[in-house]
Structure 1
């Protein structure tokens, strides 16, 4: 009886360990994806601010109307 109980316990611990490893790997992957997304968002914001600043500092182009004959 004890041998059967030990075998069942070992199987349960093995299954739990496998599940736990998968969960930790998934969590690590999600953390990496979140970090990349945060970096991308920060870069996008920085580039947008630079573009808006450049557009604000640019002299407006005023075109003269074409002469009619």
Structure 2
């Protein structure tokens, strides 16, 4: 069975269109995955910064508390 040039061209166009659609879908999926990954990394960095800041504040408060003289209890 021999394909006419028109049918052969149509088939080639369909295959190209399918390949292009698959490629676009893959690119979209990769972009979405990268965006999610970047958002996760940004959130992790922000939370780490907040945690370190809180730990530094807690250490400073502990030093202030330790430096304060203790009161004598009631007798």
How far the C-alpha of 1:10 sits from its partner, in A, is 0.4
Stretches of structure 2 lacking an aligned partner (at least 5 in a row) = 67-75
How far the C-alpha of 1:28 sits from its partner, in A, is 0.5
The normalised TM-score by structure 2 is 0.73
Measure, in 2, the Cα distance between the counterparts of 1:52 and 1:35. Answer: 26
Measure, in 2, the Cα distance between the counterparts of 1:35 and 1:24. Answer: 16
How far the C-alpha of 1:42 sits from its partner, in A, is 0.5
Partner of 1:26: 26
Measure, in 1, the Cα distance between the counterparts of 2:39 and 2:14. Answer: 38
Alignment partner of 1:13 is 2:13: yes
Partner of 2:71: none
How far the C-alpha of 1:8 sits from its partner, in A, is 0.5
Alignment partner of 1:39 is 2:50: no
How far the C-alpha of 1:9 sits from its partner, in A, is 0.4
The normalised TM-score by structure 1 is 0.79
Partner of 2:52: 52
Stretches of structure 1 lacking an aligned partner (at least 5 in a row) = 63-69
Q: Secondary structure, in 3 states, of the residue corresponding to 1:18?
A: helix
